[in-house]
Amino acid sequence: MKADLELTLSHDGDKWTVHNDVLTAMGDTFESLDKELTRTIRLSGYFPSGSKIKVFMDFDGRYYNESNRYFHRFIKLDI
């Protein structure tokens, strides 16, 4: 499945963060992160309102520690 948007995902021990050269969103949980990302995309105009997009999140291994595991997220958002 091809992504409409690719982001880097990291965790600082407190919050999840996703970003690329244009967008940044943060949340305490994946649920709050996804809501904030949707809000950020809407405000940016990056995609038209009403779009259904596929988002790929590549975990940034530089922030890997014992409590994190390297993984990817692939989600769908209604903008």
CATH number of the domain at 22, please.
Answer: 3.30.160
User: Which positions ≥6 away from 63 have C-beta within 8 Å?
Assistant: 10, 11, 12
In contact, 48 and 24? CB cutoff 8 Å = no
Q: What is the pLDDT of residues 37-61, one digit of tens each?
A: 999 999 999 899 999 999 999 988 6
Domain range holding 16?
Answer: 5-78
Q: What pLDDT, on the 0 to 100 scale, is given for residue 22?
A: 92
How many domains does the structure of the chain reveal? Answer: 1
The predicted model scores a pTM of: 0.85
| Most confident of the following: 13-17, 61-65, 69-73 | 13-17
Q: What is the pLDDT of residues 11-42, one digit of tens each?
A: 888 999 999 999 999 999 999 999 999 999 99
Nearest CA to 76 out of 8, 4, 23 is that of 4
Q: What pLDDT, on the 0 to 100 scale, is given for residue 57?
A: 95
